[in-house]
Amino acid sequence: MTRVVVLGSGYAGCAAVRSLEDELDEDADLTWVSEDPYHLVLHEVHRCIRDPSVRDHVTVDVDEIADEETEFVQGRVTDVDVDDRTVRLEDESDLDYDYCVVCLGSQTAFYGIDGLEDHAHTVESLGDALSIHESIKAAATDASRTDPARVVVGGAGLTGIQTAGEVAALRDWTDSHVEVHLVEQSDEIFPGHDHEFQGAIQNELERHDVEIDTGKAISEVDEDAIQFDGGDSLDYDVLVWAGGVTGQDSMSDVDIETDHNRAYADSTFKTSDDRVFAIGDAALVDQDADGGPPSEHDLWEQVVHPDADSSPPPTAEAAMEEGKHVGQNVARTIAGEEPVHWSYINKGTLVSVGDDAVAHGVVGSPVNTFSGRPAEVLKKAISARWLVKVAGANARRRPGTRCDRGVNSTLDSAVRHLTKAADRFGYETYGRATPAE
C-alpha cells in the first residue's frame, strides 16, 4: 500500500484531503495529521472577538470533512525526516509515509521587536480570539467616557483591518467606553493595494470610529505602552499584533529548500524532495514552470500587488485551489504520470469591517471597488460555499454530526440564495492546470 500523509487542517489541508480522497485508488492509504480535531474557518475567527457564541460556526470537526476510510491522527508535528520518510510528532511517535503533503500554515512573526511577543495578543486561533474578547471586556470594566480603555491593533493588513473592525463592533454592541487604534508601519493601510480600494476601506474604518495611525513603526513594547521609531509612544490596555507571518518551527530542520521555514515548491507543488509536496502558507509556490523558486521579496510583492503572476498570495482562496490540485498531482505521481502545473487566477478581494465589507477587482463585476449590501452578501456567500464544499456531503451521511442535527439545513437554505452571487462572479473557477513537460 502507498502511504500518503497530509499535515495540517487549514484551508490547504482540508482541500488536499478531500481531493486525495477523490483521486487515490484503493491501493493507497490516506492519513491526516492535525494538532486540532477540527478545521478553523480562519477568515471568520475574528467574529469571535465580538461574540464568542459564534465559536461553533467557525469550526468544522474533522469527521465532518474526511471519509471514514481516512485515518485521522491528532498531534503536533515537530519534524519531517525526508531520508527515513517519517513524520515526528510531539509525543515522539513517528508516522511513515511514501508521499507527504505539508500544509502546516504559518505563525505570527514578531521581527525581534523587544517585548512584542510577551505583551501582544495574536489572531492565529479560536483561543486567541476568545482571549482578546475577555481582555477587552476586562479593560472596559473600569473605563469611562473621560478615561476610555484603549485597544491597539498593530498591522493594517487584512487580519489587522478585520480585527480592528470587529473590536469596534464589540464596543458598539456593548456600548463600552473603548478607543480602537489601528497602527501601520507603512504610510497607507492595506499597503500596496489599489488606492481606490485603500480609500474605501479607510472610509469604512473611520465610519466605525477606528483611529488610523500610519507611518508608525513599533520599536519596543512594555506592559502598558508602545514605543515607536522616532521616540513617540502610545499607551494601551489591550494590544493585538497582526503585523506579519512566518513559517512554522516544525519546518526549521527539514532537509528541503526553505526560506523562513516555508518550503520552496514548483508549480506542481513538489519541493526539492520528490516525495514531499507543500502548499498553502507553508509553501513558496513558483508558478513559472521554467523559472526558479520565488524569493521572500517576490512573495511580498505578490501580497501587495495581487495582480502579479509570479506567485500566489497567502489567501484562503489560493490555499483551497492548491489543495484541490495537489491531490491530482500526488495521484498522478503515484501512477507514474506527469504532474500538472498550476497557476492562480485572482478573482477579487473582500475585506470585512464589522458587519460591513469592501470588495475590489471581483471577476464579472462592472464596478472595480464596491461596498454596501452587494459586498456583504458576496462575502457571506463565499464563506457559506466553503463550509458546504469542505463538510456538506460527508457530514450529512454521519448521524449525530452538526449537519445531522439540522445546522446544515439552515445553511443550505441560505446557500441557495447566497451562492448565486458567488456563481455570478466566477468563484467556482479554479486555477489553470496544464500537463508538465
State pLDDT tens for residues 66-95.
999 999 999 999 999 999 999 999 999 999
Q: Are strands 178-184 and 149-154 parallel, antiparallel or unpaired?
A: parallel
d(CA 89, CA 15) in angstroms, rounded, equals: 22
CB of 113 closer than 8 Å to CB of 219: yes
Least confident of 23-32, 67-76, 344-353, 420-429: 420-429
User: What are 206-259's pLDDT values in tens digits?
Assistant: 999 999 999 999 999 999 999 999 889 999 999 999 999 999 999 999 999 999
3-state secondary structure of 432: strand
Buried b (16+ CB within 10 A) or exposed e, 6-21: bbbbbbbbbbbbbbbb
pLDDT, mean of residues 179-202 = 96
pLDDT, mean of residues 335-359 = 92
Least confident of 95-99, 318-322, 325-329, 395-399: 395-399
d(CA 267, CA 343) in angstroms, rounded, equals: 7
User: Which residue type, as a one-letter code, is found at position 308?
Assistant: A
d(CA 213, CA 150) in angstroms, rounded, equals: 14
